[in-house]
């Protein structure tokens, strides 16, 4: 039997830093678990104490190893790597040579010994909304592309959509790395019990039919357009539903933004019309999404939307902003609106609150298979 390919997965995020990336990485592992056993790679999870390992362990992937990057052995190896850097020998004395691949790779000479470093850029929002990006984040992006250009120009860069590919060519024409697309998918647990919806509604005090918005509280996610649409309907005496907002109410980027949303709700007397759940366990969120009147995705920017992919996997209707990537990602069971037009959105919500959208049942397994083929190409499996 051929030796299994050894792939490192840096799994450093927590629910506080990025729930979306956690879902992204666990869905990749769920996809790899669908491969024929003969070509399943060995996975090495590099993690910290804050990494939600239970999400990985629940997948029961058969060939997996966990390495804590805060462990003494790992830290000693990292310290030796830094010493090698000081003497300018980072391309001569190599570490981590037993690994075939790392994804997503990052700018660190510690990784030079890994045979194939595969990078990922989720999106290019810093070029469209620099006002929402911290100086630290912007410096990281600049260093990332400088590293690709000067140190690793032959390594693959993975993007999530053709829209992202266009942005790369627009903003970073100097980057000549080979580009591969990975249109990630959602894996919906088979054991979901949708009959639990009544219990979940009671838990969160959802008392009316509802639409649902499942985004982190970051400014570009554009929750405010939904609140404005609700306010308009309330003034017109046409509000016969609630809107549920899921997502952790504190984050690395959105605390001031969340306060602004809360103030709008208070000032316009919308407290009984809005349900803010804070962080929701993944299975509960999926059940809420499935049982909603529709999913609303009002975002002004995405690389590839987890929310839309969940909607497709659930055969649920989606009301989405008409940005290019959303229109690339979904063409059926969807209504689009101008992301800045709360009036247009209010009309769609009013209509669907009394005339539930008709859903065309789609076979999502084709999406999963296409995404798996993307991974086989990216990892040369």
What's the pLDDT tens digit per position in 35-92?
999 999 999 999 999 999 999 999 999 999 999 999 999 999 999 999 988 888 888 8
Calpha distance 367→313 (Å, rounded): 9
Coil vs helix vs strand at 47 = strand
- What gap in Å lies between CA 228 and CA 231, rounded to an integer? 5
263, HSE (Cβ side, Cα atoms, 13 Å): 6
Domain 6-185+369-378 shares a fold with domain 194-362: yes
Position 245 pLDDT exceeds 80: yes
Q: What are the pLDDT digits (tens) for 152-210? A: 999 999 999 999 999 999 999 999 999 999 999 999 988 899 999 999 999 999 999 99
Domain ranges of the chain: 6-185+369-378, 194-362
| Highest CATH level, class, for 6-185+369-378 | alpha beta
d(CA 1, CA 269): 66
Reported confidence tier of residue 255, pLDDT bands at 50, 70, 90: low
pTM (whole model) above 0.75: yes
pLDDT of res. 20: 82
Average pLDDT over residues 270-293: 95
CATH class of 194-362: alpha beta
Minimum mean pLDDT among 7-21, 213-227, 354-368: which range? 7-21
Please give the mean pLDDT across all residues of the chain. 93
What pLDDT is recorded for position 14? 81
Instruction: Name the 3-class secondary structure at 68.
Output: strand
Q: In angstroms, rounded to a whole number, what is the distance separating the alpha carbons of residues 182 and 159?
A: 6
User: CA 300 to CA 69: how far, in whole Å?
Assistant: 36
Where do the H-state alpha helices sit in the chain? 19-32, 53-57, 72-86, 125-128, 135-151, 162-171, 197-204, 223-235, 255-267, 282-291, 306-313, 324-329, 342-354, 365-378
């Amino acid at each position: 039997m051929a030796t299994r390919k050894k792939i490192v997965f840096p799994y450093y995020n927590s629910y506080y830093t990025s729930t979306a990336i956690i879902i992204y990485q666990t869905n990749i592992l769920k996809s790899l678990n669908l491969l024929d056993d003969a070509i399943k790679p060995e996975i090495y999870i590099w993690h910290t104490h804050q990494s939600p390992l239970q999400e990985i362990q629940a997948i029961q992937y058969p060939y997996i190893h966990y390495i804590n990057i805060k462990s003494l052995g790992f830290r000693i190896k990292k310290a030796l790597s830094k010493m090698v850097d000081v003497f300018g020998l980072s391309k001569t004395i190599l570490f981590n040579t037993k690994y075939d691949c790392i994804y997503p790779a990052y700018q660190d000479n510690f990784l030079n010994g890994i045979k194939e470093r595969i990078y990922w850029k989720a999106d290019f929002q810093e070029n469209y909304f620099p006002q929402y990006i911290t100086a630290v984040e912007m410096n990281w992006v600049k260093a990332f592309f400088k590293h690709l250009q000067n140190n690793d120009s032959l390594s693959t860069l993975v993007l999530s959509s053709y829209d992202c590919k266009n942005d790369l060519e627009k903003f970073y024409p100097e980057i000549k790395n080979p580009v591969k697309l990975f249109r990630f998918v959602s894996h919906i647990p088979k054991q979901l019990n949708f009959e639990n919806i009544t219990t979940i509604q009671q838990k969160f005090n959802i008392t009316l039919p509802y639409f649902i918005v499942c985004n982190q509280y970051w400014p570009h996610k554009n929750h405010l357009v939904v609140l404005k649409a609700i306010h308009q309907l309330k003034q017109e005496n046409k509000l016969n539903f609630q809107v549920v907002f899921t997502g952790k109410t504190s984050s690395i980027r959105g605390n001031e933004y969340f306060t602004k949303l809360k103030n709008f709700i208070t000032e316009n007397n919308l407290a009984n019309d809005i349900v803010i759940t804070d962080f929701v366990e993944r299975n509960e969120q999926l059940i809420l999404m499935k049982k909603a009147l529709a999913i609303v995705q009002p975002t002004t920017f995405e690389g590839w939307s987890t929310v839309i992919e969940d909607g497709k996997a659930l055969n649920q209707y989606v009301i989405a902003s008409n940005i290019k990537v959303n229109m690339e990602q979904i063409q059926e069971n969807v209504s689009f609106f101008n992301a800045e037009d709360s009036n247009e959105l209010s009309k769609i919500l009013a209509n669907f609150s009394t005339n539930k959208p008709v859903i065309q049942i789609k076979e999502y397994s084709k999406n999963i298979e296409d995404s798996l083929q993307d991974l086989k190409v990216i990892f040369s499996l």
